[in-house]
């Protein structure tokens, strides 16, 4: 196994007066610019594919899928399977060696990634997500951000430790630009991708995310991803958070382990072409009665947050959505897991909220969906601080429901960490690598 990262961050210039500060900070800003441009371009590609395939406006896949005939569901998803299989085979033949996951690259390869294969995977990801694959769209801009960071690290001749941080910052900047969440993207880069919340790392992450978001806003709308009512805390929601948080933690462990199994058992040989066609064809068939299984899950989460989905539908989708995502990963389809995980939590929270309302009525089910989304997202990413900020930025809301939000996130993450050390971004790490990273995280600061 490659040498793990050092515990010390002394190579990071914390001020402009430190040696090597100019090339490092220049690389940070340029990474933000490049990531913002890439995120905007990839988002436009996704929207173009979605309009072409589903004859919709490009903004709401669910509405377009509802209006589409059964034949379109089958043809589009079978086409997505063919594109996935062919794309994976082409990427493997065009790039020497194996692909490296971003998390593994940061921790065990000094942040280095195969540039063309990573960018090809990002482009393939947005194409098939636009066609309806049940994965997230943020995976592509995260990969693009990591490639940008590698490129500017080479140009600036940064040290391995500086490169590791910059690749994490680039990944977080991709998240920030894709969803318009600069602070949440910065914290995601540090807490989830880099695994260290240290003062010397904060400014690079902030600058990269802010620059990337500002650049993307020149093309993409500056608006919350989810529009929700003004929910408020109450005794019922606080107690519910304490009860539901541990449940969300256990569900998250099962989800993470299912994703890990799926990633470790991706098809090889001729199955790389057959498996995506079979799985995505099945997804197309299921999407005829349940179009909510298509895409990253944003649309059904929005409905759950605003009390516009029937309890029976929420229960059915709570079974179908995670199954669809896991099978898509198992088939070899590339894509993100952030929004699909959030959607699983929204469905869980909504279902538990409806049950809770039988005993303690008065709280809108949408608030329970929101708290459940945060709880599962925090537990599956093992990033509670970044999750809280991300949820506030994604909804554009203030601290009105912060108490139950913190309780749900904290209890879910604690339970999940106690049972399972992996996050959804650790699926490609071996057990030895997960253990090595855990020990590095627990080392005292130097």
Average pLDDT over residues 172-199: 89
Q: Which pTM does this prediction carry?
A: 0.91
Average pLDDT over residues 285-296: 94
- Please write down the long-range contacts of 86-90, taking CB distance under 8 Å and 24 or more positions apart: 86/273, 87/120, 87/124, 87/127, 87/128, 88/124, 88/272, 88/276, 88/332, 88/334, 89/272, 89/273, 90/120
Least confident segment among 228-237, 308-317, 430-439: 430-439
Beta strands in 169-322 (DSSP E): none
Average pLDDT over residues 191-204: 84
136 - beta bridge partners? 336
Q: Dihedral sign, CA of 89, 380, 153, 100?
A: negative
Q: Which residues contact 239 (CB under 8 A, 6 or more apart)?
A: 360
**Residue 9 clears pLDDT 50, i.e. is over it:** no
For every residue of 183-205, DSSP letters joined together read HHHHHHIIIIII----HHHHHHH
Q: Which residues contact 358 (CB under 8 A, 6 or more apart)?
A: none
User: In angstroms, what CA-CA distances link 82 with 124, 127, 278?
Assistant: 12, 12, 9
Q: Dihedral sign, CA of 345, 351, 354, 357?
A: negative
Report the distance separating Cα 18 and Cα 6, nearest Å. 20
* Residues above pLDDT 90, as percent of the chain: 65
Report the distance separating Cα 146 and Cα 418, nearest Å. 30
pLDDT digits (tens, 9 = 90+) for 316-367: 999 999 999 999 999 999 999 999 999 999 999 999 999 999 999 988 999 9
Report the distance separating Cα 400 and Cα 259, nearest Å. 34
**Residue 257 clears pLDDT 90, i.e. is over it:** yes
Report the distance separating Cα 275 and Cα 86, nearest Å. 11
Residue 24 contacts residue 163 (beta carbons within 8 Å):
no
Identify the structural domains of the chain with CATH numbers, from first to last.
21-216 (1.10.3080.10), 235-442 (1.10.3080.10)
Specify the pLDDT at position 59: 58
Average pLDDT over residues 224-237: 89
Average pLDDT of the chain, as a whole number: 89
Q: Whose CA is closest to 393, among 347, 342, 344, 325?
A: 342
**Sole residue written with tokens 């099978």:** 327
**Residue 98 clears pLDDT 80, i.e. is over it:** no
C-alpha 65: how far from chain center: 23
């Amino acid at each position: 196994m490659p040498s793990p990262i050092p515990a010390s961050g002394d190579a990071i210039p914390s001020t402009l007066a430190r040696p090597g500060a100019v090339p490092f900070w220049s690389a940070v800003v340029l990474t933000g610019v490049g990531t913002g441009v890439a995120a905007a371009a990839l988002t436009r590609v996704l929207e173009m594919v979605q309009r072409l395939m589903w004859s919709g406006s490009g903004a709401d896949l669910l509405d377009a899928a509802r209006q589409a005939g059964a034949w379109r569901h089958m043809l589009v998803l079978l086409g997505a399977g063919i594109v996935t299989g062919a794309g994976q085979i082409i990427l493997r033949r065009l790039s020497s060696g194996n692909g490296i996951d971003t998390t593994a690259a940061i921790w065990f390869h000094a942040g280095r990634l195969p540039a063309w294969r990573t960018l090809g995977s990002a482009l393939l990801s947005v194409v098939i997500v636009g066609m309806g694959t049940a994965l997230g769209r943020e995976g592509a801009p995260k990969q693009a951000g990591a490639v940008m960071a590698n490129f500017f690290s080479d140009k600036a001749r940064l040290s391995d430790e500086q490169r590791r941080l910059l690749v994490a910052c680039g990944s977080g900047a991709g998240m920030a630009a894709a969803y318009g969440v600069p602070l949440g993207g910065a914290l995601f880069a540090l807490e989830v991708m880099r695994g260290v919340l240290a003062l010397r790392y904060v400014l690079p992450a902030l600058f990269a995310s802010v620059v990337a978001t500002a650049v993307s806003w020149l093309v993409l709308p500056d608006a919350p991803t989810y529009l929700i009512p003004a929910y408020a805390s109450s005794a019922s929601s606080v107690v519910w958070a304490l009860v539901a948080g541990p449940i969300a933690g256990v569900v998250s462990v099962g989800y993470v382990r299912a994703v890990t199994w799926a990633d470790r058992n991706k098809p090889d040989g001729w199955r790389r072409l057959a498996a995506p066609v079979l799985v995505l064809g099945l997804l197309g068939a299921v999407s005829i009665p349940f179009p909510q299984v298509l895409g990253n899950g944003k649309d059904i989460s929005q409905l759950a947050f605003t009390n516009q989905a029937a309890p029976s539908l929420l229960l059915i989708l709570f079974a179908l959505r995670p199954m669809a995502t896991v099978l898509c990963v198992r088939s070899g389809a590339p894509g993100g897991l952030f929004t699909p995980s959030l959607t699983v939590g929204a469905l869980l929270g909504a279902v538990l909220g409806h049950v809770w309302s039988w005993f303690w009525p008065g709280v809108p089910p949408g608030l329970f969906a929101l708290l459940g989304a945060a709880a599962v997202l925090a537990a599956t990413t093992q990033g509670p601080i970044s999750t809280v900020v991300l949820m506030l930025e994604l909804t554009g809301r203030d601290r009105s429901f912060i108490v139950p939000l913190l309780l749900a996130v904290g209890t879910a993450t604690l339970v999940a960490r106690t049972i399972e050390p992996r996050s959804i971004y650790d699926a490609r790490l071996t057990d030895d690598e997960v253990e090595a990273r855990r020990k590095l995280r627990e080392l005292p600061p130097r």
